[in-house]
Structure 1
Amino acid sequence: MPASPRAKARAQTMTDILRLGREHLATHGAAALSLRAIARELGLVSSAVYRYVASRDELLTLLVIDAYSDLGNAVDAAVDRVASSHPTDYRAQFTALGIAVREWALREPARYGLIFGTPVPGYAAPTERTTAPGTRVVVRLIGIFDAAWRAGNRPNDGGRPVSGRLAEDIARIRGEGELSVGDEAIATGVLVWTSLFGAVTFEVFGQYGPGTFTDLEQLFRRSLDLLADLGGLG
């Protein structure tokens, strides 16, 4: 059954609220988001906007989910393009994932900052709504490592064993994810994951310093190659 005019109008208003939320995020920052300001731009009285979004925190949650989902879509599209023609080239799939994360972050620095930057004072994202979209990229990364392990690839971690509470944590993670990948590969994968996002964060937030590196893309791709080597991705 087609949506009613009322439902279409409501959906369009929600789309406009999110669009303006993204614009205000880029212009004013997350801490300064204001539903009243968005209502003014929409031509609504301030009380009317609360029928669509209950609070500033709810708007932040919608923007967090929106950003995670957009990033996840970009990563999935990039990895799927490579995997469709090179299903066993795990290095190429990992490289596509890393490049997609970097390109999205540079294109959407304010949204990247919302989900990976400084926490917004007074706001805590509801885990029951944000965990699934927020873990899409790392789940895709784990999938690449798991497939590489199944194909016989092993991390170049120097044979360092995993023991103690870390081994217990990894056993739990393996069970939750129904993974075959070994303890060492999971531990190494965590380093690859955090290093990838650390490199992106340094670039997005200008942490290298002005004029330190003249070709940050080349630096990033070299880092990806080294991380792929460490992960034993072929």
Structure 2
Amino acid sequence: MPERSLSAGFRVWQGDGMSAPSIRARVRAEIIEEIKAVARRHLETEGGNLSLRAVARDLGMVSSAIYRYFPSRDALLTALIIEAYQALGDAAEAGDAAVARDDLRGRWLGVSHAVRAWSLAHPAEYALLYGSPVPGYAAPSETVVPAQRVVFALAEIMVDGAAAGRLAPPEATPVPPRVRVDLARLLAPRPGALTEDQLVRCMAAWSQLFGLVSFEVFGRLAQGVVEDSEAYFDHQMRLTADLAGLPAEPGHADGRDEADEPSHSEEPDEPGRPDERDELRGRDDDEPGHAAAPAGGSGQPASEE
């Protein structure tokens, strides 16, 4: 039982000059981590309906002992939520850091794909953050800052773009007066970093990002809707980059990879010019029985979006 580890730890560390309080703190921290690890396993099968009694039973503890570490189920849920938000924020910021600072669109895609990858790898924790609310649980204020890290990562990319004068002007879509009050409050800590319209676009992209991830995590795209979910996600995130006004990736006119471009082995025919193959065969377009090719050529591959 974990409760017996305190005396064992004391015997192990006593010879190293550690005091009893420091040993207790170390053992307590280890038990807390064990409790959270077991609770995460319960999330995978039970969702947010955690039972402290069930967690204690899996740990070999009497049910009353777990309250020494978490005074309530809500306290344990809060600890799990904060850690999940922090892990997701770490992933998003790592995705941003992996791309050159001047590649604004690449950074945007780096953040987006990192959020998707983390969420698919941790569906139970993602569901705790963005799934159905846990009955009877109200997230306390200490969850707010960790929850904002992803949108702040996206906003920072737009701030860098705005500072460099590289954001495209927004479409003229009036913002409702009541929404403008909220935007002003959000913009107040960093006056001048973004305009109201730029922040609106950032928040729309943020909503789109988590909407797409939720659809995939919760199986909404797996019922004959989208076969290649990763390609679909990437395309949608490029659309949000357009919405945000971000410039194309360096070396690409529209932000797409060269591998995505259609391959053209022949130059398109000029209007009014005979097909070179017909010239080689000694025929003109106006020969009897020879129909002109449709404009654009039937053999040209369709351009992919």
Structure 1 match to 2:3 = none
What TM-score, normalized by structure 2, do the two folds share? 0.71
Q: Does 1:72 align with 2:89?
A: yes
How many residues are aligned here?
229
Match of 1:150 among 163, 171, 178: 163
Structure 2 match to 1:8 = 26
CA distance in structure 2 between the partners assigned to 1:160 and 1:153 by the alignment: 20
**Distance 1:179-1:39 versus aligned 2 partners, 3 A rule:** farther
Deviation at 1:156, TM superposition (A): 5.5
Structure 2 match to 1:94 = 108
Q: Does 1:24 align with 2:37?
A: no
Structure 2 match to 1:203 = 216
Corresponding letter in the other structure for 1:222:
H
Deviation at 1:218, TM superposition (A): 0.3
Deviation at 1:169, TM superposition (A): 2.5
Structure 2 match to 1:173 = 186
Percentage of pairs with the same residue: 42
CA contact (8 A) 1:72 1:137 kept: yes
CA RMSD of aligned residues (A): 1.7
CA contact (8 A) 1:155 1:188 kept: no
Corresponding letter in the other structure for 1:61:
T
Structure 2 match to 1:60 = 77
Question: What's the CA shift string for 1:101-140, capped at 9, x where partnerless?
Answer: 101111111111111111001110102x101111111111
Structure 1 match to 2:51 = 34
Higher relative contact order (CA 8 A, sep 6+): 1
With 171-180 and 45-54 compared, the bigger mean Cα shift is at 171-180
Q: Does 1:110 align with 2:124?
A: yes
Q: Does 1:191 align with 2:209?
A: no
CA distance in structure 2 between the partners assigned to 1:161 and 1:100 by the alignment: 32
Q: Which has the larger radius of gyration?
A: 2
CA distance in structure 2 between the partners assigned to 1:175 and 1:182 by the alignment: 11
CA distance in structure 1 between the partners assigned to 2:200 and 2:82 by the alignment: 28
CA contact (8 A) 1:98 1:224 kept: yes
Deviation at 1:162, TM superposition (A): 3.8
SS at 2:68's partner residue?
coil
Question: What's the CA shift string for 1:27-57, capped at 9, x where partnerless?
Answer: 22112x1111111121111111100011111
Unaligned stretches of 5+ in structure 1? none
Deviation at 1:161, TM superposition (A): 4.3
Unaligned stretches of 5+ in structure 2? 1-16, 248-305
Matches within 5 A, 1:119-130: 119-127=133-141, 129-130=142-143
SS at 1:53's partner residue?
coil
Report the structure, 1 or 2, having the larger helix content.
1
